[in-house]
Amino acid sequence: MKGIILAGGKGTRLRPLTKVTCKQLLPVYNKPMIFYPIQTLVSSGIKDILIIIAPEYSGHFLNLLGSGKDFAARFSYAIQEEPKGLADAFIVGEDFIDNDDVTMILGDNIFERDFSKEINAFKSGGMVFSKKVKDPERFGVVEFDKNKKALNITEKPAKPKSDFAVVGLYTYDSRVVSYAKKLKPSKRGELEITDLNNVYLKKGELKVNIFEGLWEDAGSFESLLRVSNLIASKEHTK
């Protein structure tokens, strides 16, 4: 199992903070944001990690993270010239993935949960994680049947059919590269991860795990402050 951290993008929602660096290097309490997704992968036993970054911030990441030895991991880096959607990460990382399974985590997603059991048990197909949220219209939304079997995933629906969002942690077999290459850009001009998930779902090969616990998409001022405060309070009660 290899790992990818997608840490490109412009972070425009966090301007002016992101005028000098990218959002994944902003502090979340006492650590740079990207330390949290790194820990999520490493704690799941994934040590070979590709970090996909924007060209203008490549030196920032190299100075901070280096080879990965401080995390007992091995880091590689790839440049995403411009944001083309989450699924584009698998095209950028094609040579890195090779014929292996891969778990991708978004560089602004922060979890307080161990996913090692599910990731280590992965055999083939695709696997995503879903959590109940208050604002599902902001995410890819899973529609379930009465037995909690996933029927469909819709990207940012105006009228969500459930309040379960797909979070930024995805595991796939090596076919993900060829599937990503066949996707057509959405109306936003991006290769959508939701379309990729639906490819596996239509084949009956996508597992959707519902979980509870801390998850924050720290891409807004409100969520960045909220997760910083949560982690600070936990640190102070140790």
**How many residues in the chain?**
238
Higher-confidence residue of 51 and 223: namely 51
- 74 neighbors 49 (Cβ within 8 angstroms): yes
Can you give the residue ranges of every domain in the chain? 2-236
Confidence class for position 181, pLDDT limits 50, 70, 90: very high
| Statement: residue 237 has pLDDT above 80 | no
The amino acid that residue 48 corresponds to is D
Pairing of strands 109-111, 164-172: unpaired
What is the token pair recorded at 70?
């401080």
| Statement: residue 11 has pLDDT above 80 | no
Residues above pLDDT 70, as percent of the chain: 99
* Confidence (pTM): 0.94
pLDDT in tens, 147-180: 889 999 999 999 999 999 999 999 999 999 999 9
CATH of domain 2-236: 3.90.550.10
Confidence class for position 42, pLDDT limits 50, 70, 90: very high
Q: How far is CA 54 from CA 57, 109, 219, 226, in A?
A: 6, 17, 16, 26
